[in-house]
Amino acid sequence: MANFNELQAAINADGDIRLIELCSGTIVFTQHIAFYPKGEMTFTCPNGDCVLDADSKTRLFHIQGGAGKVSFDGITFKDGNGIVSPE
């Protein structure tokens, strides 16, 4: 996934086990993505230097209740200003 629209589509796709590979660089969230994990979802950064950032009035995710497991491997999170969670 290289941009917000691709990432949002991948998250909302059907399937119980999903591997979402991000491209190196920054994806800026222009709106939050709400989802209910029902299986396993792994966000990974195979080439390094992947950043998920939000514009100044947006949060990244709203992960709602469900029977799923979500993991973020090698992803840096920012809040529009600075790092809020290390890799």
Would you say 43 and 18 are in contact if contact means Cβ atoms under 8 Å apart? no
pLDDT digits (tens, 9 = 90+) for 22-70: 999 999 998 888 888 878 889 999 998 999 998 877 878 888 876 678 8
* CB contact set of 46 (below 8 Å; sequence gap of 6+): 21
Interatomic CA distance for residues 8 and 11, integer angstroms: 5
For residue 67, what are the domain limits?
A: 4-85
What does DSSP assign to residue 87? Answer: -
Residue 87: what pLDDT?
A: 43
Interatomic CA distance for residues 18 and 85, integer angstroms: 23
Joined tokens for residue 18: 């999903």
| Number of domains composing the chain | 1
pLDDT digits (tens, 9 = 90+) for 9-25: 988 888 777 899 999 99
Q: Which pTM was predicted?
A: 0.80
